[in-house]
Structure 1
Amino acid sequence: MNKHSSSNGTVLGLRHVALASALCCAGLAQAQTDSSVTLYGLADVGITSVSGLKAGTVTQVASGIMEGSRWGIKGTEDMGGGYKTIFTLEARVELDTGASSNRPITGSQLSDRFSQAALLGLPSDVALGLPVGTVQGTVNSIDAALAAQYGVNVNNAVFDRQAFVGLITPVGAVLAGRQYTPAYETFGTYDIMATQSALSAGQIVQFPAVFEIRTSNALSYRIVKDGLSGAFMYAPGEVAGDAGKGRLYGINAGYKTDVFSVGLGYNTRNNELGEKSLTSTVLGASMNMGSSKISTLVAKIKDDNPNGLSTISNLIAPAGSLAPIVAFGNLVESKFVEAFKQDGTLFHIGYRNVIGPHTISVAYNRYDDKRPANADVKSYGAAYTYALSKRTDLNAVLVRFDNSANAQVAPGGNGYLGGVTASAGTDSTGVAFGIRHRF
Structure 2
Amino acid sequence: MKRILALTALAAASSAAFAQSSVTAYGILDGGVSQVTGLRGGTRTFLVSGIMDGSRLGFRGNEDLGGGYRALFTMEHRMEIDTGGINNRPLSGSQLPDRLTNATLLGLPTFLQPAVDNVAAALGSTIGVNLANNMWDRQVFVGLVTPFGAGLAGRQYTPAYEVSASFDVMGTQSSLAAGQVASFPPSVDIRVSNAVAYRIAQGPFSASLMYGLGEGSTSTGRMIGGMAMYKADAFGAGIGYNTRNNERGDKALSSLVLGGYFAIGPGALYGQYAQVKDDNPAGLSALRASLVSNPQLGPVIGGQVADAFTAALRQDGRLYHGGYKMVTGPHTVYLAATSYDDKRPNNADTMSYGVAYTYSFSKRTDVNAVLTHFNNKNLGQAAPGQAGFIGGVTDRAGTDSNSVALGLRHRF
Is structure 2 residue 215 aligned with structure 1 residue 238?
A: yes
Question: What is the one-letter code of the residue matched to 2:213?
Answer: P
Separation (CA, whole Å) in 1 of partners of 2:62 and 2:264:
35
Q: Distance in 2 between matches of 1:37 and 1:166?
A: 14
SS in 2 for 1:107: coil
Partner of 2:337: 364
Moved over 4 A (4+): none
1:263 aligns with 2:249: no
Alignment of 1:180 onto 2:157: yes
- Equivalence for 1:7: none
Q: Of 25, 39, 44, which residue of structure 2 is paired with 1:58?
A: 44
Which residue is 1:296 aligned to? 271
Please name the residue that 2:357 is paired with.
384
Distance 1:43 1:93 in 2: 8
**Which AA in structure 2 matches 1:376?**
D
- Do structure 1's residue 167 and structure 2's residue 144 form an aligned pair? yes
Select the structure of larger CA radius of gyration.
2
- Say whether residues 1:100 and 2:86 are aligned partners: yes
Residues 184-223 of structure 1: per-residue CA shift (max 9 Å, x gap): 0000000000000000011001101111000000000001
SS at match of 2:289: helix
Task: Report the TM-score when normalising by structure 2.
Answer: 0.94
The aligned counterpart of 1:89 is: 75
Q: Pick one of 64, 69, 72 that aligns with 1:78.
A: 64
Partner residue, 2:5? none
Distance 1:290 1:73, change over 3 A: farther
Q: Which amino acid aligns with 1:256?
A: K
Aligned residues: 395
The amino acid across from 1:83 in the alignment is: Y
Counterpart residue number, 1:8: none
Quote the sequence identity (%).
52
- 5 Å-filtered alignment, 1:110-259, equals 110-125=96-111, 135-238=112-215, 242-259=217-234
Matches of 1:430 and 1:327, distance apart in 2: 44
Q: Give the distance between the partners of 1:33 and 1:143, measured in 2 at CA.
A: 56
Distance 1:432 1:226 in 2: 37
2:370, 2:406 within 8 Å by CA — same for their partners in 1?
Answer: yes
In structure 2, how many angstroms separate the alpha carbons of the residues matched to 1:250 and 1:295? 23
Amino acid at match of 1:373: N
Aligned residues: CA RMSD: 1.4
Contact 1:85 1:168 in 2 (8 A): yes
Q: What is the aligned counterpart of 1:349 among 308, 322, 326?
A: 322
Residue 153 of structure 1 aligns with an amino acid whose one-letter code is N
Alpha-carbon distance between aligned partners in 2 of 1:87 and 1:288, rounded to the nearest angstrom: 34
| Cα offsets for 1:91-119 (capped at 9, x unmatched) | 00000000000101110000000111111
CA-to-aligned-CA distance 1:403-424 (integer Å, 9 cap, x gap) = 0021111111000111111100
Alignment-derived partner of residue 36 in structure 1: 22
How many Å apart are 1:279 and its aligned residue? 0.1
Change (3 A) 1:85 1:291: farther
1:138 Cα deviation from its structure 2 partner: 1.3
Instruction: Write the distance in 1 (CA, Å) between the matches of 2:105 and 2:19.
Output: 61
Deviates more, 1:390-399 or 1:248-257: 248-257
In 2, the alpha carbon distance for the partners of 1:65 and 1:362 equals 16
2:396 aligns to what?
423
Distance 1:173 1:289 in 2: 34
Deviations 1:207-261 (A, max 9, x none): 011110000000000011132210000011125xx42010000000112333111
Matched residues in 2 for 1:262 and 1:417: separation?
A: 27
Which secondary structure state, in structure 2, belongs to the residue aligned with residue 404 of structure 1?
strand
Find the residue that maps to 2:77 and give its secondary structure.
Answer: strand
Instruction: Work out the CA distance in 2 between the residues paired with 1:137 and 1:92.
Output: 37
Alpha-carbon separation, structure 2, partners of 1:313 and 1:256: 45
Please tell me whether residue 329 in structure 1 is matched to residue 302 in structure 2. yes
Distance in 1 between the 2:311 and 2:102 partners?
A: 14
For 2:411, the equivalent position in structure 1 comes to 438
Judge conservation of contact 2:291–2:306 (CA < 8 Å) in 1. no
The answer on whether the counterparts of 1:313 and 1:326 sit within 8 Å (CA) in structure 2 is: no
SS in 2 for 1:413: coil
Partner SS state of residue 336, structure 2: strand
Alpha-carbon distance, 1:33 to partner: 4.2
Higher RCO (CA < 8 A, seq sep 6+)? 1
Q: Is the 8 A contact 1:282 1:298 kept in 2?
A: yes
After TM superposition, the structure 1 stretch with the greater mean CA deviation from structure 2, 214-223 or 225-234, is: 225-234
CA-to-partner distance for each residue in 1:104-147, whole Å, 9 max, x for gaps? 1110000000111111111232xxxxxxxxx1121122112211
Identify the residue that residue 4 of structure 1 maps to in structure 2: none
Aligned ranges 1:403-422 → 2 under 5 Å: 403-422=376-395
Point out the more displaced range, 145-154 or 62-71: 145-154
State the Cα deviation string for residues 289-343 of structure 1 (Å, max 9, x = none).
4741111000000011111112223222338x59x60111110111111101100
TM-score with structure 1 length normalisation? 0.88
Question: SS at 1:349's partner residue?
Answer: strand
Paired AA for residue 57 in structure 2: W
- Contact 2:30/2:410 (8 A) holds in 1: yes
Q: What is the identity, as a one-letter code, of the residue corresponding to 1:172?
A: G
Task: Report whether the alignment pairs 1:67 with 2:44.
Answer: no
Which runs of no fewer than 5 residues in structure 2 stay unpaired?
1-17
